[in-house]
């Protein structure tokens, strides 16, 4: 009996003391924040879907690894643009196959582009990038036509020039998918139709990895594509497993216990923890996010530019960064643009902290002190550009009150209507932010201050209107339209500088912080090239 | 008995119908909708309107409800607005995970709680009894999230003995193929891989201990008081007077009679845990129904919340029905009509 008990204890101890964590050598276990929500490329819009899509699909043109603006060939080995910026001819790589064995050629490319242009109605509710870049469907799309020239060449004609068109084509949403797989798995029937099992069973691209398994809520697995066409850039890993761990503290615990090899979106207060752990390494992305206060000029007293100036002068951005973005998690922002963008100009806004000027501006406004305003912040959320919304709110509230404002705090859950109400222009002053997809003003201010006739909540505007900020200055709209259409890079940079001057003179918002994000990984993960856009290629990653 | 069971099952219909109605009304009274959760920073009036139209949220509430119920009557519980996975697929994937965790937690609770309660009752007011009482009080009071984090830190981060997330070592093993998602069963019976089985057990230990602590304490306390009550009954004294051995008295008279309240508690606790152990599943990234429904509630994923509630309510009623039937077995004097 005694021996049996001793044996049992020995077995249990052996079992327990087995190294916890991933043991297979060439498999990378990645602690992600959630499951992907789709892998039908054109519908991908959340970071976790794009993270996986970036590995199994490829676009015609790509952002160079680590860059937010430099383009390199992808499935198109070269391209020509007409002088008027309307016609793009893509010369495709040859000998490329989708992972279902079918050919990638001009026919497949034309099929994909036509699908973007004529996105089935059942898919339109899930669409973001297609409508954002091309502006509409069918005849309303920026894509006028797409035609095959020969097996390895096709041509896209736009209705109007769009200077960031090629950069936008590097977005993972505009990846090439196998027409055969899309049709066989009813991808066009929409996400609410059970017969559409494309992305959960057979997402098919040409990338260095291919789909292997999806267990909802547990993991998503991709494996090396052994037939990848670009041998020089073939995947070094055999398998990547994405394990969803929603809570950032739990992700860190999983990393430290060896349950996963890598985690993303490390909290600012966890950075030193990782830096000080000899078994871990911290990989930091350059900033490409902007945390800002949106101001809606259609709500009083924010219609008065002096009130907006007073708010901007009253906020000490460096103090906010020092307190809420420690360890280099953020930088004080003085523009909606980032310093890495050519159109950025230092101190272009009313951004210097100056309490005297703030008080003077408020005194000169239609709402002298004590000026009562509602100030909104979101609950139950942490974003790279807004790590502690309530804490930041309290700090800024104190600053604004020192300048003569009387604040009524307002808050709502981020997913409980905050983003909807904010977008519909219901908040006068509110926290919000943006994660750039690529370093181009068209993907920031070009969206923040765009106008349309869409309803703002229940209100239908009588003319093109900006719901969120009510920035309806016709000069701003004209300057942005000119910049967005200008094909010459140098002229375009100047156009954006001009547009930003107008936007800044209006004090259309209050930029607060430029933020990046960080990953934590065990030291045996090598070859990871961080990108400011958060959309890295994992073919270069290996374990040593 | 059969009539009783049939009546309870029929009662499910109005219960589920009322629940579905309540759910749809309350959910739509809450601020926000899944489109705000999906779009986040990408929310613009046009994007929101297109998303709401795609999900049918722009239709009148009664029409949304009727469409939903029509689907349910045809076995279609809908598709999540946020993760785009059908509710049936998600449930069938996740429920086995919850069952494995629940059964493991309840095995710990029953396996330790009953002997602890019996031993404490038989040594009433002894040092051991006082220790068991204090321990069970702590067990009931300790927040699961605290215990879970403590266990993770000690056994995962500090000692590196046990994993802190997931159901198995994803890099070392694969459960592709069988698809039951009962991993203990698959590893042992289908894959015949003791190493894999041991790995699944290792992943189960921390969440099961965290989840089982409160039921363990409850079972121990109920067992103690139930056994004490039975020990003072006349028929136990009579049995002693007849010269029966303590073991025979305990087995045949004390425990069997004390099992009635204990089984009630076990049934209720099991039913509750099957509804998803939100905190435990969240802390240990356990892909079960609790984690799933919690996230759906955060995301205002109406279809998942409504369908999940309907399915879980059915399971809760059925588990309680099984407990009621179990009463009749334990106590032949109980007859349902």
| Residues B59, B197: Cα–Cα separation, whole Å | 50
Chain A: residue whose CA lies nearest to B37:
A415
Alpha-carbon Rg for chain A, nearest whole angstrom, is 25
In degrees and rounded to multiples of 5, residue A538 shows phi and psi of -100, 5
Which residues of chain B does A217 touch, with a Cβ-Cβ cutoff of 8 Å? 90, 93-94, 97, 287-288, 291-292
Residues of A in contact with B166 (CB under 8 A): 218-219, 243, 259
Task: Identify the pLDDT of residue B154.
Answer: 95
Q: Is B118 left (phi over 0), alpha (psi -120 to 50) or beta?
A: alpha
For the ranges A73-87, B6-20, B312-326, the maximum mean pLDDT occurs at: A73-87
Calculate the dihedral angle through the C-alpha atoms of A238, A242, A243, A247, rounding to the nearest 10 degrees. Answer: 140
Residue B41, chain A, CB below 8 Å: the answer is yes
Query: Helix, strand or coil for residue A18?
Result: coil
* Cβ–Cβ below 8 Å for A37 and B82: yes
Between CA B283 and CA A112 the distance in angstroms is 41
Closest CA to A31 of B82, B154, B278, B284: B284
Strand-pairing partners, residue B205, are none
* Largest separation between any pair of C-alpha atoms in chain A: 91
- Alpha carbon distance A403, B39 (integer Å): 35
**Confidence at residue A349, expressed as pLDDT on a 0 to 100 scale:** 67
Chain A residues inside the 8 Å CB shell of B84: 37-38, 126, 191, 199
CA B163 vs CA A16, A213, A217, B207: distances in Å? 10, 22, 18, 10
Q: Is B28 on the interface with A (CB under 8 A)?
A: no
> In chain A, what residues touch B209 (CB-CB under 8 Å)?
none
What percentage of chain A exceeds 90 in pLDDT?
80
CA distance A519 to A266: 6
CB-neighbour burial class of residue A9 (10 A; exposed 0-12, middle 13-18, buried 19+): exposed
Higher pLDDT, B318 or B275: B318
Contact present, A408 and A536 (Cβ < 8 Å): no
A41 compared with B294, residue with greater pLDDT: A41
Q: What does the H/E/C string look like for A300-364?
A: CCCCCHHHHHHHHHHCCHHHHHHHHCCCCCEEECCCCCCCCCCCCCCCCCCCCCCHHHHHHHHHC
Residue A10 pLDDT: 46
Could you say which of B82, B157, B170 has the minimum Cβ distance to residue A253? Answer: B157
DSSP for residue A416: I
Euclidean distance between CA atoms A107 and A96, whole angstroms: 13
Residues 6 or more apart from B262 whose CB is under 8 A from it? B114, B117, B219, B222, B223, B226
- Answer yes or no: are the C-beta atoms of A271 and A445 closer than 8 Å: no
Check A125 against B50: CB less than 8 A apart. Answer: yes
The per-residue pLDDT for A25 is 74
Q: Which chain B residue is nearest to residue A128, measuring alpha carbons?
A: B47
**ipTM attached to this prediction:** 0.83
Please tell me the distance from the alpha carbon of residue A58 to that of residue A206, in angstroms, as a whole number. Answer: 6
Cβ distance A128 to B42 less than 8 Å, yes or no, reads yes
Q: A171, A133 in Cβ contact below 8 A?
A: yes
One-letter-per-residue 3-state SS of A169-206: CCCHHHECCCHHHHHHCCHHHCCCCCCCCHHHHCCCCC
pLDDT value, residue B278 = 84
Which of B39, B51, B83 has the CB atom closest to A216's CB atom? B83
Q: Per the CB < 8 Å rule, is B170 touching A221?
A: yes
On average, the pLDDT of chain B sits at 88
- In Å, how far from its chain's centre is CA A276? 29
Partner residues linked to A368 by β-bridges: none
Give the residues across from A291 on adjacent strands.
Answer: A433, A513
* Cβ atoms of residues A129 and A45 within 8 Å: yes
Count Cβ neighbours within 10 Å for each residue of B26-54 and write b for 16 or more, e otherwise. Answer: ebeeeebbbbbbbbbbbbbbbbbbbbbeb
Contacting residues for A45 by C-beta, under 8 A, at least 6 apart = A128, A129, A173, B38, B39, B42
How many CB atoms neighbour CB A65 within 10 A?
A: 16
| Cα three-residue angle A374-A376-A382, rounded to 5 degrees | 165
**Are B254 and B227 spatial neighbours (Cβ–Cβ below 8 Å)?**
yes
**Residue A530 contacts by C-beta under 8 Å, 6 or more apart in sequence?**
A66, A283, A284, A285, A286, A519, A536
C-alpha B19/C-alpha B17 separation (Å) is 5
pLDDT per residue rounded down to tens, chain A (544 residues): 444 544 444 445 445 544 444 445 799 999 998 899 999 999 999 999 999 999 999 999 999 999 999 999 999 999 999 999 999 999 999 999 999 999 999 999 999 999 999 999 999 999 999 999 999 999 999 999 999 999 999 999 999 999 899 999 999 999 999 999 999 999 999 888 888 999 999 999 999 999 999 988 889 999 999 999 999 999 999 999 999 998 889 999 999 999 999 999 998 888 889 999 999 999 999 999 999 999 999 999 999 999 999 999 999 999 999 999 988 889 999 999 999 899 999 876 677 899 999 999 999 999 999 999 999 999 988 888 998 999 999 999 999 999 999 999 999 999 888 999 999 999 999 999 999 999 999 999 999 999 888 888 888 888 888 999 999 999 999 999 999 989 888 999 999 999 999 999 999 999 999 999 999 999 999 999 999 999 999 999 999 8
Please say whether the beta carbons of A538 and A237 come within 8 A.
Answer: yes
Name beta bridge partners: A376: A410, A430
A126 vs B40, B54, B202: nearest CB:
B54
Please give the residue of chain B at the shortest CA–CA distance from A385. B41
Residues within 8 A of A (CB atoms), B 172-201 only: 172, 174, 176, 181, 198, 201
Q: Which of A291-295, B118-122, B186-190 has the highest mean pLDDT?
A: A291-295
Angstroms from A6 CA to nearest CA on chain B: 18
The torsion angles phi and psi of A331, rounded to 5 degrees, stand at -130, 150
**CA dist B134 to B117, B129, B221, B223, B239, Å?**
12, 9, 10, 15, 32
Contacts of B93 in chain A (CB under 8 A): 215-218
pLDDT exceeds cutoff 90 at B107: yes
* Residue A1 CB-density burial (10 A; 0-12 exposed, 13-18 middle, 19+ buried): exposed
Whether the predicted pLDDT of B238 surpasses 80? yes
Q: Which of B42, B285, B291 is nearest residue A45 as measured by Cβ atoms?
A: B42
Residue A405: strand, helix, or coil:
strand
CB A483 within 8 A of CB A442: yes
Beta-sheet strand order (sheet of A289-295): A330-332, A509-515, A289-295, A429-435, A371-379, A405-413
Residue B330 pLDDT? 72
Three-state SS across chain B? CHHHHHHHHHHHHHHHHHHHHHHHHHHHHCCCCHHHHHHHHHCCHHHHHHHHHHHCCCCCHHHHHHHHHHHHHCCCCCECCCCCCEHHHHHHHHHHHHHHHHHHHHHHHHHHHHHHHHHHHHCCCCHHHHHHHHHHHHHHHCCHHHHHHHHHHHHHHHCCCCCCCCCCCCCCCCCCCCCCCCHHHHHHHHCCCHHHHHHHHHHHHHHHHHHHHHHHHHHHHHHHHHHHHHHCCHHHHHHHHCCCCHHHHHHHHHHHHHHHHHHHHHHHHHHHHHCCCHHHHHHCCCCCHHHHHHHHHHHCCHHHHHHHHHHHHHHHHHHHHHHHHHHHHHCCCCCCC
**Complete edge-to-edge strand list for the sheet that includes strand A209-215:** A209-215, A219-224, A239-244, A27-32, A262-263, A518-522, A280-284
Helix (H, G, I), strand (E, B) or coil at A272: helix
């Amino acid at each position: 009996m005694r021996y049996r008990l001793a044996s049992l204890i020995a077995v249990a101890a052996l079992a327990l003391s087995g190294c916890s964590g991933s043991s297979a050598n060439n498999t990378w276990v990645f602690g992600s924040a959630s499951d992907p929500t789709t892998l039908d490329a054109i519908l991908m819009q959340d970071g976790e879907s794009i993270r996986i899509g970036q590995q199994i699909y490829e676009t015609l043109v790509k952002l160079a690894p680590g860059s937010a603006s430099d383009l390199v060939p992808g499935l198109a080995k070269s391209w020509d643009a007409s002088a008027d910026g309307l016609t793009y001819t893509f010369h495709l790589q040859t000998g490329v196959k989708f992972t279902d064995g079918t050919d990638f050629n001009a026919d497949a490319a034309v099929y994909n582009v036509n699908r973007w242009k004529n996105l089935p109605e059942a898919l339109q509710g899930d669409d973001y990038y297609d409508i954002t870049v091309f502006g509409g469907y069918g005849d309303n799309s920026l894509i006028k036509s797409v035609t095959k020239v020969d097996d390895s060449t096709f041509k896209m004609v736009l209705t109007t020039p769009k200077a960031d068109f090629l950069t936008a084509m590097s977005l993972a949403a505009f990846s090439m998918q196998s027409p055969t797989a899309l049709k066989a798995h009813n991808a066009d029937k929409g996400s609410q139709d059970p017969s559409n099992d494309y992305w959960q069973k057979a997402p098919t691209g040409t990338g260095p990895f291919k789909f292997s398994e999806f267990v909802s809520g547990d993991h998503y697995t991709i494996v090396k594509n052994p037939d990848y066409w670009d041998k020089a850039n073939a995947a070094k890993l055999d398998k990547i497993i994405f394990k969803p761990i929603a809570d950032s503290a739990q992700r860190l615990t999983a990393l430290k216990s060896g349950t996963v090899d890598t985690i993303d979106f490390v909290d600012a207060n966890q950075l030193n923890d990782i830096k000080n752990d000899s078994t871990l390494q911290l990989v930091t992305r350059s900033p490409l996010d902007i945390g800002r206060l949106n101001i809606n000029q259609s709500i009083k007293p924010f219609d008065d530019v002096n009130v907006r100036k007073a708010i901007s002068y009253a906020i000490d951005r460096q103090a906010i960064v020092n307190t809420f973005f420690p360890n280099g998690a953020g930088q004080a922002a003085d523009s909606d643009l980032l310093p890495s963008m050519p159109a950025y100009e230092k101190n272009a806004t009313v951004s210097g902290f100056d309490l005297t000027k703030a008080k003077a501006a408020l005194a000169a406004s239609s709402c002298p002190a004590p000026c009562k305003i509602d100030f909104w912040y979101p609950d139950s959320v942490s974003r790279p550009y807004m790590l502690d919304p309530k804490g930041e709110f309290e700090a800024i509230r104190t600053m604004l009150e020192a300048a003569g404002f009387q604040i009524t705090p307002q808050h709502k859950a981020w997913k409980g209507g905050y983003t909807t109400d904010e977008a519909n222009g219901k908040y006068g002053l509110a926290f919000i932010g943006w994660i750039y997809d690529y370093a181009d003003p068209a993907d920031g201010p070009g969206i923040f201050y765009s106008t349309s006739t869409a309803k703002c909540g229940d209100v239908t505007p009588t003319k093109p209107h900006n719901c969120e900020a009510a920035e309806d200055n016709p000069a701003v709209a004209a300057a942005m339209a000119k910049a967005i259409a200008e094909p010459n890079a140098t002229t375009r940079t100047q156009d954006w500088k001009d547009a930003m001057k107008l936007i800044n003179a209006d004090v259309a918002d209050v930029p607060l912080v430029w933020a990046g994000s960080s990953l934590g990984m065990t030291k045996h993960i090598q070859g990871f090239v961080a990108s400011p856009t958060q959309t890295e290629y994992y073919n270069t990653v290996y374990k040593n | 008995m059969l009539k009783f069971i049939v009546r309870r099952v029929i009662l499910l219909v109005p219960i589920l119908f009322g629940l579905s109605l309540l759910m749809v009304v309350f959910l739509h009274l809450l601020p926000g909708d899944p489109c705000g959760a999906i779009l986040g920073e990408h929310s613009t009036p046009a994007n929101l309107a297109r998303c709401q139209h795609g999900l049918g949220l722009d239709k009148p509430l009664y029409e949304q409800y009727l469409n939903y119920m029509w689907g349910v009557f045809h076995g279609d519980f809908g598709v999540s607005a946020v993760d785009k996975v059908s509710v049936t697929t998600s449930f069938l994937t996740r429920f086995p995970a919850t069952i494995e965790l629940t059964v493991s937690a309840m095995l710990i609770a029953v396996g330790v709680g009953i002997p602890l309660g019996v031993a404490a009752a038989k040594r009433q007011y002894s040092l051991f009894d006082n220790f068991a009482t204090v321990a069970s009080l702590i067990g009931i009071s300790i927040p699961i999230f605290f215990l879970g984090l403590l266990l993770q830190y000690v056994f995962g981060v500090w000692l590196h003995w046990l994993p802190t997330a997931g159901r198995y070592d994803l890099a070392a093993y694969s459960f592709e193929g069988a698809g039951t998602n009962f991993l203990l069963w698959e590893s042992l019976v289908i894959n015949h891989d003791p190493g894999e089985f041991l790995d699944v057990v290792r992943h189960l230990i921390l969440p099961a201990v965290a989840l089982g602590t409160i039921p363990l304490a409850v079972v121990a306390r109920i067992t103690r008081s139930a056994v004490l009550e039975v020990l003072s009954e006349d028929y136990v004294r009579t049995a002693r007077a007849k010269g029966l051995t303590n073991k025979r008295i305990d087995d045949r008279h004390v425990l069997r009679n004390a099992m009635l309240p204990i089984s009630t508690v076990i049934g209720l606790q099991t039913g509750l845990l099957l509804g998803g152990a939100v905190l435990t599943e969240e802390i240990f990234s356990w892909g079960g129904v609790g984690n799933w429904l919690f996230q759906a509630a955060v995301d205002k994923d109406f279809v998942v919340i409504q369908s999940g509630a309907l399915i879980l309510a059915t399971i809760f009623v059925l588990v309680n029905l099984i407990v009621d039937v179990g009463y009749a077995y334990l106590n032949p004097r109980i007859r349902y009509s």
